[in-house]
Amino acid sequence: MSKGYYAINPTHKKEGFLLRDPTKWETRFLELAKTVAKWSKDPSTKCGAVITKGKNKVIGIGYNGFARGMSDDTDLYNDRDEKLSRVIHAEMNAIFNSATDLTGCTMFTTIPPCERCAVHVITTGIKLWVMGSPTPEQEKRWNFSKSYQFLREAGVDIIKV
């Protein structure tokens, strides 16, 4: 448990977690996701996503924001109901921005996914998810346990940093 990193895999259990440090490249791609997250105009949540394939090749990036061509006016982000009806999550934007088959790819995100993003990513065939840990405030606001359950059920390995 050297640095507090852990992976969830249904076939390797130690209280539900497989301990493993992220590789040098996994750490770099998670840092890239943090940089991409800064592009979001959402004042309350900034999430970034990076998808890689094979030998460290970036094939998709995304951040949470409104759909292409829609107004990015700050007032729309400050109206929670309006924002939630318009926003596309970082994971989905990364999928949309990749123009290739994602089977066997790796997803990197700054925070764990919501339930909807988890099932969408599962459908793409992504098999490893490296994610940053949520803040205590995010843990309170969102329940990530269902997302973890879905990912485990589908055989997606998770490394939470």
Q: Are 87 and 78 in contact (CB under 8 A)?
A: no
**Of the candidates 66, 57, 65, the residue with the CA atom closest to the CA atom of residue 25:** 57
- Residues designated as active site: 91
* Helix spans in 6-154 (H): 24-37, 74-78, 80-86, 90-97, 115-124, 136-141, 145-153
Other beta carbons within 10 angstroms of residue 71's beta carbon come to 9
**Of the candidates 36, 53, 11, the residue with the CA atom closest to the CA atom of residue 157:** 11
With tokens 């009806």, the residue in question is: 85
